[in-house]
Structure 1
Amino acid sequence: MKLVASLSLATYPDANSSKIVAHAVALVKQIDAALHAVAIDVDIPDVSNALSSYFLDLPHQIQDAEATSRKRGSDLLEAIAQEAARSGVTVTTQELTAPPALMGDVAAKHSRYFDLCLVGWEPANQTARMIAEAILFGSGRPTLLLPESVDVGLLGHVVIAWDGSRVAARAVADARAFLERASMITVVTVTDEKPLPAQRIGERLALGLKTRGLVAEAATIQAGDSSIGAALQEHALRIGGNLLVMGGYGHSRVRDFVLGGATDGILADLRLPVLLSH
């Protein structure tokens, strides 16, 4: 069965960079997946009244904002259609609309119909972060964050952040398409961040992967004074890792996302593609 990945694109107030288009197509091509790209256009409720229309011309401003959002979405979808055609990737596109506060919710609900969620990540793009967090905690699907500043090359070396937890086990299962194609898998356990369920848990997972015919090894690191997210990414890059796989910790509370330390550290400073499962 062919996998289908969804790519949710932000358009308002900040749009995703066109670089995300190339990154997404390159990634799905590697795992022989199809791509469904959706632009989330803004639909701003009409809150004008006679006085505000007279002084501020709010209806006109709303129309301009919505038109700008639609234009950005249309341009991104056209770019991804062209990139997919050049790369031989099957792609479908769609536009959805949502009020500003619900753009993430709409993206998360739409993403439930696909196998893998792709989200472009840009440090200063708060819309992209909102959409990414909503998809991570609300879609029920694995979410792969694609940093704007890092080209997606061959994902040959996959690094698994392993602590023996439920979410980490879920992440390993969700990463199967990448693990099966990896030339090397490194299972990394951080030993000074929290109590671990047992000793040598990384070696146990690596052995299980090798039993399945994969090339895997285990390593332990200490975070020290660094955040766990920074420590994991630094180690992954140091050993030539191209993709970091980890569980996503956190929960939603009245629309405010409460993130675990590792997840927050990853989102605060993303340095390579990261597959998060919640």
Structure 2
Amino acid sequence: MQLLASLFLPTYPDPPGPKVVSNAVAVASQLGAKLDAAVINVDIPDVSNALSSLLLDLPEKIREVNAASRKRGKALLGTVAAEAARCNITLTSQELRAQPAFIGEAAAGEGRYFDLCMVGWARDTESSRMTAEEVVFSSGRPTLILPGDEDVGALDHVVIAWDGSRVAARAVADAKPFLERASTISIITVTDEKVLPSEDIGDRLAHGLAARGLRVKAESIHAVDNEIGAALEDHAIRINGSLLVMGGWGHSRIRDFVLGGATEGILSDLRLPVLMSH
């Protein structure tokens, strides 16, 4: 059964980084997946009154913002189509609309119809982080978060952040298409951040994956004075990992996410592709 992946491209207030499209198409190619590209254009309702219309010409400003968002969306879909054709990827596309506060929610709702969601991440761009959070925690699908400024290359060294938790187990299961294609799999367990179920949890996961015919090794690390998210990324980069797999911990409180330490750290400073499951 062929994998169906969806790429979400919000166009307001800023479009994704320049590499998100090419990276997403490259991932679809590596997985042999069909790709759906969905731009999410902003739809700001006209809530102006007579005074604001007179002083600020608010309706015209709203029309300009909406039109600029749609223009960026058209350009992004054109870029995806060209890149998919170059890589011989089967592509479908769509244009979604949402009010500013519900762009991530629109992406998450649409993502439920696919096997894998992909979103871009850009430093100091709050909209990209908010969309990523919403898709991770509300879509019910694994979400691949892609850096927006550099090529990701082949995702052939998969690093699993493992603490024996439910969400970590979910992430490992969701990572199956990547694990099956990996030349190297590393399991890392941070031992000084919280109480773990036992001392051998990394070895037990490694044994299970090896029994499935995968090449895997396990090791333990110490965060020391680093934040847990930074420690995971630092180590993954140090061992030349190309993809970090981890569970996303958090819950929603009136649309304000309360995130776990590792999740918060990764979403604050993404330095390599991360597959996150909740």
- TM superposition score normalised by structure 2: 0.99
Match of 1:271 in 2: 271
Do 2:17 and 2:121's aligned partners in 1 also have CA atoms closer than 8 Å?
A: no
Do 1:170 and 1:277's aligned partners in 2 also have CA atoms closer than 8 Å?
A: yes
Structure 2 counterparts to residues 180-259 of structure 1, below 5 A: 180-259=180-259
Supply the distance in 1 between the matched residues of 2:129 and 2:77 (Cα, whole angstroms): 20
CA offset at residue 51 of structure 1?
A: 1.1
Supply the distance in 1 between the matched residues of 2:125 and 2:137 (Cα, whole angstroms): 19
Structure 2 counterparts to residues 51-90 of structure 1, below 5 A: 51-90=51-90
Supply the distance in 2 between the matched residues of 1:52 and 1:67 (Cα, whole angstroms): 20
Do 1:243 and 1:274's aligned partners in 2 also have CA atoms closer than 8 Å?
A: yes
Supply the distance in 2 between the matched residues of 1:235 and 1:33 (Cα, whole angstroms): 29
Supply the distance in 1 between the matched residues of 2:81 and 2:275 (Cα, whole angstroms): 24
CA offset at residue 50 of structure 1?
A: 1.2
Do 2:158 and 2:185's aligned partners in 1 also have CA atoms closer than 8 Å?
A: yes
Structure 2 counterparts to residues 160-199 of structure 1, below 5 A: 160-199=160-199
Do 1:142 and 1:275's aligned partners in 2 also have CA atoms closer than 8 Å?
A: yes
CA offset at residue 149 of structure 1?
A: 2.6
Match of 1:118 in 2: 118
CA offset at residue 17 of structure 1?
A: 2.3
Q: CA RMSD in A?
A: 0.7
Supply the distance in 2 between the matched residues of 1:17 and 1:77 (Cα, whole angstroms): 14
CA offset at residue 129 of structure 1?
A: 1.1
SS at match of 1:93: strand
Q: Deviations 1:226-252 (Å, cap 9, x if unpaired)? A: 011111111111111000000000011
One-letter amino acid of the structure 2 residue matched with residue 168 of structure 1? A
Match of 1:31 in 2: 31
Supply the distance in 1 between the matched residues of 2:150 and 2:219 (Cα, whole angstroms): 25
CA offset at residue 130 of structure 1?
A: 1.2
- TM superposition score normalised by structure 1: 0.99
Do 1:18 and 1:79's aligned partners in 2 also have CA atoms closer than 8 Å?
A: no
Q: Which runs of 5+ in 1 are unaligned?
A: none
Supply the distance in 1 between the matched residues of 2:150 and 2:233 (Cα, whole angstroms): 13
One-letter amino acid of the structure 2 residue matched with residue 181 of structure 1? R
Do 1:14 and 1:126's aligned partners in 2 also have CA atoms closer than 8 Å?
A: no
Supply the distance in 1 between the matched residues of 2:152 and 2:236 (Cα, whole angstroms): 15
Q: Deviations 1:11-70 (Å, cap 9, x if unpaired)? A: 011111232110100111101111101000011011111111111000100000000000
Supply the distance in 1 between the matched residues of 2:52 and 2:24 (Cα, whole angstroms): 42
SS at match of 1:192: coil
Match of 1:49 in 2: 49
Match of 2:13 in 1: 13
Q: Deviations 1:140-165 (Å, cap 9, x if unpaired)? A: 00011001133121111100000000
Do 1:193 and 1:223's aligned partners in 2 also have CA atoms closer than 8 Å?
A: yes
One-letter amino acid of the structure 2 residue matched with residue 64 of structure 1? E
Match of 1:130 in 2: 130
Supply the distance in 2 between the matched residues of 1:261 and 1:186 (Cα, whole angstroms): 21
Supply the distance in 2 between the matched residues of 1:156 and 1:176 (Cα, whole angstroms): 13
Supply the distance in 1 between the matched residues of 2:20 and 2:59 (Cα, whole angstroms): 32
- Runs ≥4 residues deviating over 2 A: none
Structure 2 counterparts to residues 135-150 of structure 1, below 5 A: 135-150=135-150
SS at match of 1:180: helix
CA offset at residue 89 of structure 1?
A: 0.8
Supply the distance in 2 between the matched residues of 1:46 and 1:245 (Cα, whole angstroms): 42
Supply the distance in 2 between the matched residues of 1:150 and 1:221 (Cα, whole angstroms): 27
SS at match of 1:244: strand
Do 1:150 and 1:271's aligned partners in 2 also have CA atoms closer than 8 Å?
A: no
SS at match of 1:97: strand
Supply the distance in 2 between the matched residues of 1:128 and 1:266 (Cα, whole angstroms): 13
Supply the distance in 1 between the matched residues of 2:223 and 2:230 (Cα, whole angstroms): 8
How many pairs does the alignment contain?
Answer: 278
CA offset at residue 203 of structure 1?
A: 0.6
Q: Which runs of 5+ in 2 are unaligned?
A: none
Do 2:17 and 2:149's aligned partners in 1 also have CA atoms closer than 8 Å?
A: no
